[in-house]
Structure formats: structure tokens, C-alpha cells
Amino acid sequence: MPVFLADPSPGLLLLLGIAALIAFGVWFRWRGQKPLFVALGFLGLLGVVLLLGSMYESPREEAVRRVNLMCEAATRANGDQFVEQISTSFNAGGVKRDALRTSVAWKEVGRLSAKITASGFSQDDFQQVSDTTCVIGFMAKAEAAEGFVLRYTKGTFNKDSDGQWRLKDIAFFNAINTKQTEPIPEFP
């Protein structure tokens, strides 16, 4: 499925919606058969694009879903569930997948009762590098009673042999200056 149909941009949906409204306006003014067919055509096209977008998951949508699953697992300080979203080829600064399962970060998150969230997933901050690799940027936040940690995050996802997109690498940057690396203490 082409990405522009599996994950339609808001601009495309808006354009089709406006075209349908204009066509219905023309039909309402003159009540002709041709403007009605054009209006129904735009409305049908908008419906098909929305239907296809809801039926198929694009690489960006799968990456967003997996990041959110990782956040839920991290909030519960569950290293096993977190690692389910990680590729077997994961390597972040020399840290491999199995090292994440037993990271000291889980004890710290549990001790602080931190809530981990991700937001700011923009289609503009997504890049499909190849058929098997994509990069997505987002804001990651860990919040506890003592304060919070906020980082701009770049996650590289790899299409594993089972056809699923999983995290292959991750890098953390300053939330304001997104070019300056700023790792999260104890992770990874």
C-alpha cells in the first residue's frame, strides 16, 4: 500500500474535503447533474482515502504505536515488555537488546514512580530511509514527584525478519537545541 494512502497527510484530507465542499456548493447553486456527480466523486474519494488510512498501518504509524507501547512498559518498569518492541539488532552506544532488559533504569523508574510519555509525532519528523529502515523524531518525557526529564528523541526503526518494525537505535537530544546530544542518565 502506498504510504500516501496508508498514512494520508492532513493536507491531502483537507484538500479533498474542501474540493467536495466547493463541488457541493456549485451543485446547490445550479442543481445540475454534473456538479452532483463531481461532488459525490470528491466525497467518495475522501471516504476511500480515509478508509484505506484506517485499514493499513504505515511504517510511521507502527513506529508511533511501538514507541507508545515502550512508554507504557517503561512506566510500569517492565523491562521484558519494553524489550518486546526492540529489534534483535538493537545497538545504542554499544548497549545491546538484552542489556536493556536488566537495565538499572527500571529500578530507578520504579523507585520514583515515574510516568513515561511520548508526544510530538509529526509526519514532517519522519524519514523512510529504505524499505527496511525509518527514523522518527518525538519528544520523550519522564515525570515524577521530584521533577521531570524532557528530551527530543530520534528512534531508528528496522523491519525485522517477521515483517514488524522495531527499534534498532535511539538517541536523545536537548529539548530546545535538538542538535545537541543529551543522554538520559542510566539509559540505555
Strand-pairing partners, residue 121, are none
Nearest to 1 by CA among 54, 56, 70, 61: 56
Average confidence (pLDDT) per 10 residues, the chain, 188 residues: 84 94 93 92 95 91 96 92 93 86 85 94 93 96 92 95 94 94 81
Q: DSSP assignment of 142-175, as one string?
A: EEETTEEEEEEEEEEEEE-TTS-EEEEEEEEEES
Amino acid 164: pLDDT: 94
Task: Give the amino acid at 128.
Answer: Q
pLDDT in the model for residue 93? 82
3-state class of 7 per DSSP? Answer: coil
One-character DSSP codes across 70-126: HHHHHHTT-HHHHHTTB-TT-EETTEEHHHHHT-THHHHHHHHT-EEEEE---GGGE
Q: Is 181 helix (H, G, I), strand (E, B) or coil?
A: strand
Instruction: State which H helix or E strand residue 128 sits in.
Output: strand 126-128
Give the Cα separation of 105 and 151 in Å (integer): 16
Compute the CA torsion angle 159, 104, 94, 76 (nearest 10 deg): 10
pLDDT of 102 reads 83
Residue found under cell 538520559: 184
Domains located in the chain, CATH noted: 3-55 (no CATH), 59-174 (3.10.450.50)
